[in-house]
Structure 1
């Protein structure tokens, strides 16, 4: 991808949360613990799903992909932020900055596309249960996952490639926790109207496309549930509860971040950065907890795994005297 426009600026300084003073250590501990939970929780889901034959349904196949996206998504930014909080300064090369920007945004869009695929999976399971196995075959599942990753890449690449060709001179301090596109764009020596339009256009396309498809799936699911009996309604609701909770939190948090970015006069720069940092770690942190608590099959599988890994009690053999 020959997009880079080499110029005098060779690296960026990520200001991040370096101005928090005595609160830096508190933020460091919160981020570190959250990152450990994200890696541990999502790794556990992937391990359990891959090792338990009872969790071979398409829903868990997509859940594995979502957990993988969440781990990669947070790993793109959190380790750099932790390093910056400890050392007091965080630098990144121009190439590394745009690579981080691309991977971060691409994974963010891919995560929402995966939630869209999971909504479609729930729609097929509830509205066409008799044809579910014949529709959600392994090739179809792979095609849907590849499509989610391709959609994330297609929505991200144009704006990143355009921004990386701009000329950067003078100030090289990024006032954000990572290489945020809007923050990096302020350092461009020249007009960025085209960049803003392209970035906004693809951002709206990504949010609206996934949001409308998820909403449509749940409207159709709701119409189908109304025609069911009480017992079937309860079972269908339990099937969708975890996914619906994750979708609600994800899009609500995104709306809060958007509002914080628009409230320039009401919120300080540090507060906006903290809101963005918490948002980037919120859904990857909550996803394994929500699915573990809301999904009976996954919860039971995790329980079986923990019992296998736990200490075993050695019982005395018959006919052998034991000394008390």
Structure 2
């Protein structure tokens, strides 16, 4: 008889997500904390989407991309946190191989989409500030829909390829992932087969979805700054105010990523990486709705109208 297929033997077994703490007494507090943050994240981003859809004045490219960014943030967080909460509630650390690979696919898809949407929004602000007379033509609904479609294709294809490559990796022995989700780098550390192609894919995806969007964002804001310095002080403040919320989100998002991935490898630890992941996977998506609503007069008015319309439903006729 031939040797048993190691990949087939391990494909049906579960992985263990070690999470943050193995102490049972800490699980209730962690569960309540992350449940609260998750609910605020989802509800806040859904409110942004509802406000944009319900207000005709927000039918512009900037808010079209903001609505998609809010949807992406909600989905990105939902790809990992519900499973973590379920494991905390059941005092279990397991995730099936199918569930792990599905989680990996959605995290790569929505994480990449988040990066590309931030870059597209920076380009939108560049056109609005530097080419205001051509804004309606350059950022037509058809062009915006095409850019959104391209973003989806550019994120789905690498995510699918990366996930399929991961399913071909053999995992042996005690398959414990020192994370609260199926992190690709953590998965490769517990592999017992050749992972060079997977590692190359991680580097390629990282360069594509971190470096390229960031360079486009930097270039856009360099051009915006150059254009703004050539106008009056009053117009200068108005131009910068239209970019303030987006720039704040960009600094938070990429600042947290760089704080993790640009540090020397010797400073990395499973606990440190898990906490950093919570920063850009939960906390920043939770803060985004507040940043865009508190710093934006139009969003404040749209949210006021949205809550006002909801109140009228409970008023007696």
Q: Which residue of 1 aligns with 2:9?
A: 7
Q: 1:30 to 1:263 in 2, by over 3 A?
A: farther
Give me the whole-angstrom Cα distance separating, in 1, the residues matched to 2:315 and 2:196.
68
Give me the whole-angstrom Cα distance separating, in 1, the residues matched to 2:241 and 2:154.
29
Deviates more, 1:252-261 or 1:171-180: 252-261
Q: Which residue of 2 aligns with 1:318?
A: none
**TM-score relative to the length of structure 1:** 0.89
Are the equivalent residues in 1 in contact too, given 2:73–2:285 (CA < 8 A)?
yes
| SS, match of residue 158 in structure 1 | helix
**Cα drift, residue 83 of structure 1:** 1.0
Post-superposition CA distance 1:254-275 (Å, at most 9, x none): 11222568344xx653343233
Give me the whole-angstrom Cα distance separating, in 1, the residues matched to 2:232 and 2:105.
47
Q: Which residue of 2 aligns with 1:215?
A: 218
Give me the whole-angstrom Cα distance separating, in 2, the residues matched to 1:187 and 1:70.
29
Q: CA RMSD in A?
A: 2.0
Q: Which residue of 2 aligns with 1:319?
A: none
Q: Which residue of 2 aligns with 1:322?
A: none
Post-superposition CA distance 1:266-311 (Å, at most 9, x none): x653343233223311221111010001111011111122223236
**Cα drift, residue 128 of structure 1:** 0.7
Q: Which residue of 2 aligns with 1:247?
A: 250
Give me the whole-angstrom Cα distance separating, in 2, the residues matched to 1:166 and 1:190.
6
Aligned residue runs from structure 1 range 179-218, under 5 A = 179-218=182-221
Q: Which residue of 1 aligns with 2:108?
A: 105
1:306 aligns with 2:311: no
**TM-score relative to the length of structure 2:** 0.91
Q: Which residue of 2 aligns with 1:138?
A: 141
Give me the whole-angstrom Cα distance separating, in 1, the residues matched to 2:172 and 2:238.
59
Bigger Rg, which one = 1
Post-superposition CA distance 1:144-188 (Å, at most 9, x none): 111111222234333322221112222222221011101111221
Give me the whole-angstrom Cα distance separating, in 1, the residues matched to 2:246 and 2:168.
39
Post-superposition CA distance 1:90-138 (Å, at most 9, x none): 3222122111101101110100100111001101111111111111111
**Cα drift, residue 15 of structure 1:** 1.6
**Cα drift, residue 141 of structure 1:** 0.6
Aligned residue runs from structure 1 range 231-246, under 5 A = 231-246=234-249
1:279 aligns with 2:298: no
Which of residues 160, 165, 181 in structure 2 aligns to 1:162?
A: 165
Are the equivalent residues in 1 in contact too, given 2:169–2:194 (CA < 8 A)?
no
Pairs aligned (count): 309
**Cα drift, residue 49 of structure 1:** 0.7
Are the equivalent residues in 2 in contact too, given 1:14–1:173 (CA < 8 A)?
yes
